[in-house]
Amino acid sequence: MSPLPLVSALGCAVRIDADDRADGDIEAIVRAWRDAEATPDDPLPAAHRSVALTRGELRRELAALSQAVTLAAIEARRGELWMLHAGGLADDEGNVVAVVGPSGRGKTTATRALAAHYGYVTDETVGITDDGTVLPYRKPLSIIEDPAGDKAQRSASELGLRPLAARPLRLSAIVLLHRVPGGPEVPVLESCALGDVLPELVEQTSYLADLPAPLHRIAAHVAAIGGVHRVTYSEAETLAAALAPLFRPGDVVATLPVADAKPLTAEVETDLDPATGTTWWRGAHLDAIALGSPTDGAGERLALLQPEPAGGATLHIIDGIGPALWRAADGRSARALAEAVVAAHGAPPRGDAEAVVGAALDALGAADVVVREPSWRTRADAAWTSSDDGFVALSLARGGSPEPVALRDTAAIIWSALTTARGATAESLVRVIAERGDVDGTEIDRDVRAFLRSLAERGLAEPYLP
């Protein structure tokens, strides 16, 4: 019986478990994964995972196995790598071009065509470290051989694709694929402003919300490689010559910033609206970057990556007076925010400044870009673990509660939302609990706010200014 390979994927090792399978099945697995097999001298320090071959028709099993190995690898590297859903090709110097495209848009076909000329890195996920190093994942390619059946899994060497040179790999370029059937015979390569392609990059990134400073990370890598390109083409076989100039060394990746969110003390001064008692605050966000003016000269844009209580994140790009409003929203009234906007942009050509700002606040507030109360987060010096029926948390802060706190039922839902989203207002937490428990939010609002205050008293959570 042939030994099963230990797969090298994104810098970690994934073991395939198929101990009781027939020799023919084992040989099929080995044949499909032979180009991704780890060698004894491979440094694979990140993690080890195991996946099992399912039961069923072999081609379907191999397709499911490919997905399982990929999921195991990206789960192991979440929060550590920028993992871009892309094909990867490398020249003999180790310069890597990542070709990005959603599933079903020709990414594997383009990767296969390019890998006849350049080394095959992956057709699935390009894993990029903080310094721009690319970690290969030479998985089998999923090829349509029978339109009515599952895709076949073929190794790169079986398809005649080029191996990688014995050099470290480093990101050289990112290319967004735009295939137009019947389009240009010679591919058209164009540079793209980050703000124009950021939504596409975010959509094609795995576990972006788990990365520190995720938007700054993307921007730093994009700056180091001289920007993102888009290629419009008709046939994948024409791409090799068009992309050849992009295989060149990138610059040093800039150091990422440290988050500057600030805890709010009981003495924080706010600027209450005298009529409504309302203050406006920046909503919880994982990262924010200025994008500058778009190509049409419409003014500054600001990108925000906002957490979701159930996990993941949503990208918002705001423009017009939005960036100035967002920056000034640190506990100010609508009137004070109108003054800040006028100071930044001048008086509006038509209409009253407060009315214009009020409409903008309503629109931004509907997306929680700005909120009417501070957000809450778990404290960095709080330790916690999950238990069978919830969580147990302990404050490590001086002056915090020395006793562990059991968090069950509604308390567990609140803690889970705070730790998953890493920031949420009391109002949004009430919505989460109401949806999960099928209760009226107005009936639990006071209790949720009281519980948050109790977490603060125990040194477990705090209101903060993102």
Say if residue 435's pLDDT is above 90: no
Q: How many CB atoms lie within 10 A of CB 102?
A: 12
Nearest-angstrom CA–CA distance, 242 and 73: 32
pLDDT > 90 fraction of the chain, expressed in percent and rounded: 65
Residue whose tokens read 């562990």: 404
Mean pLDDT on 440-446:
88
Under the banding of pLDDT at 50, 70 and 90, the label for residue 139 is: very high
Nearest-angstrom CA–CA distance, 322 and 343: 14
Residue 281: in which H helix or E strand, if any?
strand 280-282
Higher-pLDDT residue of 248, 402: 248
Q: Can you give the pLDDT at residue 398? A: 79
Nearest-angstrom CA–CA distance, 436 and 224: 44
The answer to whether 205 and 82 have CB atoms below 8 angstroms apart is yes
Nearest-angstrom CA–CA distance, 443 and 159: 63
Nearest-angstrom CA–CA distance, 327 and 318: 12
Mean pLDDT on 68-77:
93
Which DSSP state fits 377? E
Taking the model in full, what pTM does it have?
Answer: 0.90
pLDDT, tens digit, 9 for 90 and up, residues 164-173: 999 999 999 9
Q: Can you give the pLDDT at residue 1? A: 41
pLDDT, tens digit, 9 for 90 and up, residues 348-392: 887 789 999 999 999 999 999 999 999 999 998 999 999 888 999
Say if residue 93's pLDDT is above 90: yes
Amino acid at 165: A
**Sign of the torsion angle spanned by Cα atoms 127, 132, 135, 136:** positive
Say if residue 100's pLDDT is above 90: yes
Q: φ and ψ at 319, to 5 degrees?
A: -140, -165
Please list the residues that pair with 315 across neighbouring strands: 305
pLDDT > 70 fraction of the chain, expressed in percent and rounded: 93
Burial class (CB in 10 A: 0-12, 13-18, 19+), 209: buried
Say if residue 46's pLDDT is above 60: no
Task: Write out the two tokens for 158.
Answer: 């079986």
Q: Can you give the pLDDT at residue 265? A: 66
Say if residue 466's pLDDT is above 80: yes
Residues with Cβ within 8 Å of 462's Cβ and at least 6 positions away in sequence, in order, are 263, 264, 376, 377, 379, 456
Task: Write out the two tokens for 71.
Answer: 């999921």
Please list the residues that pair with 301 across neighbouring strands: 292
Nearest-angstrom CA–CA distance, 44 and 9: 9
Nearest-angstrom CA–CA distance, 277 and 260: 27
Say if residue 97's pLDDT is above 60: yes
Identify which of 41-50, 116-125, 396-405, 431-440 has the greatest average pLDDT.
Answer: 116-125
* Strands across the sheet containing 287-292: 287-292, 301-307, 313-318
pLDDT, tens digit, 9 for 90 and up, residues 109-137: 999 999 999 999 999 999 999 999 999 99
Provide the phi-psi class of 30: left if phi over 0, else alpha when psi is between -120 and 50, else beta.
alpha
Nearest-angstrom CA–CA distance, 427 and 431: 6
Q: Can you give the pLDDT at residue 294? A: 57
Cα dihedral value 27, 28, 32, 38, nearest 10: -30
- Looking at the chain, how many residues does it have? 466
* Strands across the sheet containing 12-17: 6-9, 12-17, 48-52
The answer to whether 386 and 408 have CB atoms below 8 angstroms apart is no
pLDDT, tens digit, 9 for 90 and up, residues 255-312: 877 767 788 864 455 565 555 568 999 999 999 999 976 555 557 899 999 998 878 8
Say if residue 105's pLDDT is above 80: no
Identify which of 2-16, 268-282, 290-304, 412-426 has the greatest average pLDDT.
Answer: 412-426
pLDDT, tens digit, 9 for 90 and up, residues 171-228: 999 999 999 999 999 999 999 999 999 999 999 999 999 999 999 999 999 999 999 9
Please list the residues that pair with 171 across neighbouring strands: 96
Q: Can you give the pLDDT at residue 324? A: 94
